[in-house]
Amino acid sequence: MAQPIDPKSPDSKPGNRSGASAKQVYQQAVTAFKAQSYDQALALFQRLGRLPPGSPYYLKAVMGQVRAHQRLKQVDQARLSCQALIDSSSSEARQWAQQILSQLPDSSKVEAPSAPQQTAPAKANLSGFVPLAAPASQSPPSSPPKSAAQTPISLPAPEELEQLRSENADLEVAEAREAESTYQSLFHFKQLNQRSGIDQNNSDRPPDAPVDAAIPASESRAKPISRSTVTPRQQQLQAPLPKYPLELWLQQGLTAIALLWVINWAIHFALRTVDRLLRWHWWPVQLSLPGANQTYTVWIIGGLVVLALTSPWMMDFALAFWHGQKPLSTRQLQGYSPGALRLLRQVCRQHGWQLPELRVIPDQAPLCFSYGWLARNTRIVVSQGILDRGPDEAIAALYGYELARMVNGSGAVLPVVGLLLLLLHTAYHRLAQLGNRLTQPLLRNILGVLSSLFFGLFWLLRQLVLWLSRLCCSWGDRRAIALTQHPDHLADGLLQFTEAIATDLERRGSLHPLLTSLEILMPVSGRQAITPGSLLAKVRGDGQNLEKEDDSCGDRFGNRATTIANLIAVDSLNPYRQWLRVSASHLPLGERLLGLSQQAILRQQPTIALPLPSSTSTNFSLPLLLLQKGPLAGLLMGGGIAMGLWFLGGIVNRLRWQWLSWLYQDPSVLMGGLWLGLGLGLLLRINALFPDLGSSPPAEQTSTTAPDTIADLLHSSSVLPVQGKPVILQGQLRGSVGLENWGCQNLYLDDASGLVKLANPIPLGSLQGLLKQHPEQWIGQAVTVSGWSRYGGGLLWVDIHQVQLDPRHRFQAYGPIWATLLSLAISLIGVWTIFRGG
């Protein structure tokens, strides 16, 4: 969301219509009202009324309109404004509106306003606003209005100026949250905009954060979300969540069973494969692996159960040994985020829990996760960077997200798998670092192969829990909204976490190892955050200074809002979005922001005024989807044809047709059909995956050829990754060096507009670069990259065609060639399997 404009900033001038702060316009309106210039005050209050309904100044603006209409004898308009207050969620505002309605005369009996009388300003508060608790008898009498055309705007009396200064001082103190104010004025935002939290009667409830929004100009390109856009049918908040999420628990049970079966099969398969390799050659002494053909299912299941039960303590040791994790006291958390501590105490007291153990990792990278299979042994871990740079509301929102996982009971499977992923990824990372320090090529290559093997196991295990991870992410957002009642804070926290990931990648050169290994436990996917986080981080500071004289600042602010709007549109309006989440650990960020914004609107909480996306809707195309899912469609088609041949074999077997009866229940037909279908499915989509790039620009034309920018890739992304868009990018190459990047798995490009992940279409094809030039040798240097841009599942990446450092140093990926060879090899395996027979 857009960052609020600081009302104390000297850059926010009262005369700047495109970026004046709400506080300044509010002060102008009150001053005009006290000067009895009701027309001008009404115009300013109406300008304030264009703020989002959740802004602290929205209700004040509507109340100001009521009083201005009263003074101008516009009874009908005053009734409409009172009705808007009655429809609000503030009980004090509703009570005040009903009180004013009872005092308004019948519109048919209202006489025309008489000539203004010259009366001296009294020392009493001429604004007409009274405390909400004041009785009806204390309402100020209405005075004849003064027309702006007849009476010039006069300055208020010194007593009134002194009273205005005291009111503004109270407001600034409340906004700074330096002390709890007892002032019960109508203008006090804490009384007007109090929201229903976890427990309204509890003093430990996190306080509402003051929000100072910018006043949109009358000719602004951004269309703010107004109250009128919410229909009465939409005024229903999120349905109450069940205490026991059976869907989530069932998915956890199915995932646990699948993991047990896959790990058991993988261990037995590995043992028997090693035994076959040892028996394959005739050694001086015949070798074999003792016990390779025995069954170890009971031992494997028992070991995994023990691992699951001891996982919290094993994770404690691993994180403390490798990353310096240490305890975080409640006193320390109180100093960083009082709201987070209040939320922890509130939720734990409601559920009868003790406070979870708090841990901190002394690192500036953004880290936030929790682990533990029961509430009493759960640990919530954050990094020092989150505590140092995160505001109170964002930190409280992240802690609320982890508390939501505790309440959902989603810590039974994912943290255990997270421990296994941490061990595998750490083995890959440490072996690669050890190999980088070696100079002997043989030992270095052996360690490189071992580290790549561990990374492959890490990737395979991660794929097994992505579905559960996405489900936990969805339930976590919904439960966090129910716990905190502040979806706007959670949306801000997710955006700031996303920006922090990209900023840390630029500083470090690659993603933090924990952002990769424990991605399924994080609130935001590290891979998904690279491009949107970098785009938002580069315009974050620019959007806070909207001087009218500097048009570029307004453009940059618009670019930030447009980036968020386009991200929401790309993720939420894509008709194929349900099919593109297979390889994503979290729901796309745009979808999550849209859901949180909708809940914030229904709660009348502040949300960003986004420009409407201009992209046209895309119709759903089944052939295009089948092309995207070509391997899966090929598997299904191959398996279906094989089952049909089985059925045909069964029929001819009854008819005694021996020349076709071999088809009946022949396993080679099924396996061969699957292999053949997979190969053909890969082969048929190669032309769509890799459209013609044309001739690569020579080195002498690089400076004259206009390259694409990373910001353009997100704004003009295709609806399906199979529709590759040819691009040429220039920027600085970032990523890991040495053995960690053998497969180009940690490679990124940084240009002036943002970051994007680079990938090799066929990771094994990167090995050919080890014999000559490899991109990992050019980390930190300016390069030109040509390839194909793709977007799906919330992730933007570029498949590499060529990385060029200069005319003599270039890396060619040969993606289409490798993809063709791979698909033909798989197809030939299928044909050979069928002809070999079972």
Which stretch of DSSP H or E encloses residue 729?
A: strand 725-735
Rounding to the nearest 10 degrees, give the CA dihedral for residues 204, 210, 211, 212.
180
Between 37 and 824, the higher pLDDT residue: 824
SS3 26: helix
Q: Regarding predicted confidence, which is higher, 430 or 236?
A: 430
In this predicted structure, the answer to whether residue 353 has a pLDDT above a threshold of 80 is yes
Q: Which two tokens stand for residue 703?
A: 């400076």
Looking at residue 616, what is its pLDDT? 55
All structural domains of the chain, each given as residue ranges with its CATH number in brackets, are 23-102 (1.25.40), 264-543+556-603 (no CATH)
Mean pLDDT of 249-278: 92
pLDDT band at 532 (very low <50, low <70, confident <90, very high): very high
Instruction: Output phi, psi for 172, to 5 deg.
Output: -65, -35
Query: What pLDDT score was predicted for residue 788?
Result: 94
What residue has token string 């060879």? 821
Better pLDDT: 467 or 559 = 467
Q: 368 pairs with which residues across the strands?
A: 382
Least confident piece of the model among 39-48, 365-374, 578-587, 603-612 = 603-612
17-34 mean pLDDT: 71
Q: What number of other Cβ atoms are within 10 A of residue 595's Cβ?
A: 19
How many whole angstroms separate alpha carbon 85 and alpha carbon 227? 11
For the stretch 298-349, pLDDT in tens is 999 999 999 999 999 999 999 999 999 999 999 999 999 999 999 999 999 9
Query: Hey, how many other C-beta atoms are within 10 angstroms of the C-beta on 44?
Result: 25
Lowest-confidence range among 378-392, 422-436, 490-504, 633-647? 633-647
Q: How far is it, in rounded angstroms, from Cα 45 to Cα 130?
A: 17
Give the pairing of strands 379-383 and 368-371.
antiparallel
pLDDT tens digits, 796-832: 999 999 999 988 889 988 889 999 999 999 999 999 9
Bin 551: left if φ > 0, else alpha if -120 < ψ < 50, else beta.
alpha
* Residue 426 pLDDT level (bands cut at 50, 70, 90): very high
State the chain's mean pLDDT as an integer: 78
Q: Is the pLDDT of residue 392 over 80?
A: yes
Confidence class for position 692, pLDDT limits 50, 70, 90: confident
φ/ψ bin of 782: left (φ > 0), alpha (ψ from -120 to 50), beta (otherwise):
beta
User: What is the maximum alpha-carbon separation in the chain?
Assistant: 120
Is the pLDDT higher at 129 or at 506? Answer: 506
- Which residues neighbour 807 within 8 Å (Cβ) at sequence distance 6 or greater? 698, 699
pLDDT score at 282: 67
Task: Tell me the average pLDDT across 42-61.
Answer: 80
Binning pLDDT at 50, 70 and 90, where does residue 384 land? very high
User: Can you tell me the mean pLDDT for 125-154?
Assistant: 37
Residue 153 has pLDDT above 50, yes or no: no
132 vs 584, higher pLDDT: 584
What's the pTM? 0.72
Q: With a cut of 90, say whether residue 260 has pLDDT above it.
A: yes
Q: Is the pLDDT score of 115 beyond 80?
A: no
In angstroms, rounded to a whole number, what is the distance separating the alpha carbons of residues 329 and 598? Answer: 36
Return the pLDDT at 769: 54
* pLDDT given at position 177: 36
Report the pLDDT value the prediction gives residue 225, as an integer from 0 to 100.
Answer: 36
298 Cβ contact list (under 8 Å, min separation 6): none
Q: Of the spans 167-181, 199-213, 755-769, which averages the highest pLDDT?
A: 755-769
Asked if residue 634 has pLDDT above 60, the reply is: yes
pLDDT, average across residues 135-154: 36
- Report the range of poorest mean pLDDT among 49-63, 139-153, 532-546, 628-642: 139-153
More confidently predicted of 655 and 582 = 582
Give the whole-angstrom CA distance, residue 301 versus residue 313: 20
Range from 33-47, 149-163, 295-309, 558-572 that averages highest in pLDDT: 295-309
Residue for token pair 């706007």:
488
Encoded amino acid at 523, one letter = P
Burial 12-40 (b: 16+ CB within 10 A, else e): bbeebbbbbbbbbbbbbbbbbbbbbbbbb
The span from the CA of 483 to the CA of 703, in Å, is 54
- Residue 3: pLDDT over 50: no
Looking at residues 83-109, what average pLDDT do you find?
Answer: 76
Laid out side by side, the sheet with 357-361 consists of 326-327, 357-361, 379-383, 368-371
The stretch 636-643 carries a mean pLDDT of 91
| Confidence at 422, pLDDT banded by 50, 70, 90 | very high
Beta-bridge partner residues of 757: 748, 797
- Which DSSP state fits 110? P
Contact 197, 484 (CB under 8 A): yes
Q: Given this model, what pLDDT does residue 640 score?
A: 92
Please enumerate in sequence order all residues whose Cβ is within 8 A of that of 630, keeping only pairs 6 or more positions apart, or say none: 681, 682, 684, 685, 722
How would you label 778-815 residue by residue, b for 16+ Cβ within 10 Å and e otherwise? Answer: bbeeebbbbbbbbbbbbbbbbbbbbbbbeeeebbbbbb
H or E stretch including 482?
helix 466-484
CA distance 731 to 728: 10
**pLDDT, greater one: 494 or 79:** 494
What string of H, E and C letters represents the secondary structure of 115-175? CCCCCCCCCCCCCCCCCCCCCHHHCCCCCCCECCCCCCCCCCCHHHHHHHHHHHHHHHHHH
Q: Which of the residue ranges 529-538, 697-706, 710-719 has the most confident prediction, judged by mean pLDDT?
A: 529-538
The pLDDT value given to residue 549? 34
The answer, yes or no, to whether residue 161 has pLDDT greater than 50, is no
Q: What pLDDT score was predicted for residue 145?
A: 37
Q: Which band of pLDDT confidence, cut at 50, 70 and 90, is reported for residue 562?
A: confident
End-to-end, the C-alpha distance of the chain in Å comes to: 61
pLDDT per position as a tens digit, 431-450: 999 999 998 889 998 999 99
Are 161 and 169 contacting, i.e. CB atoms less than 8 angstroms apart? no
pLDDT given for residue 193 in this prediction: 36
Q: Is the pLDDT of residue 217 over 50?
A: no
CA atoms within 13 A on the CB side of 785: 31
Check if the beta carbon of residue 486 is closer than 8 Å to that of residue 397.
yes
At residue 106, the pLDDT reads 64
Residues found in the chain:
838
Residue of higher predicted confidence among 798 and 181: 798
pLDDT at residue 647 greater than cutoff 90: no
d(CA 195, CA 204): 14
- Whether the predicted pLDDT of 112 surpasses 60: no
State the burial class of residue 483 (Cβ atoms within 10 Å of its Cβ: 0-12, 13-18, 19+): buried
What's the pLDDT tens digit per position in 740-778? 988 889 999 999 889 999 999 887 765 665 667 889 889
Percent of the chain with pLDDT over 90: 44
Q: Residue 431 CA to chain centroid, in angstroms? A: 32
**pLDDT reading at 386 higher than 70:** yes
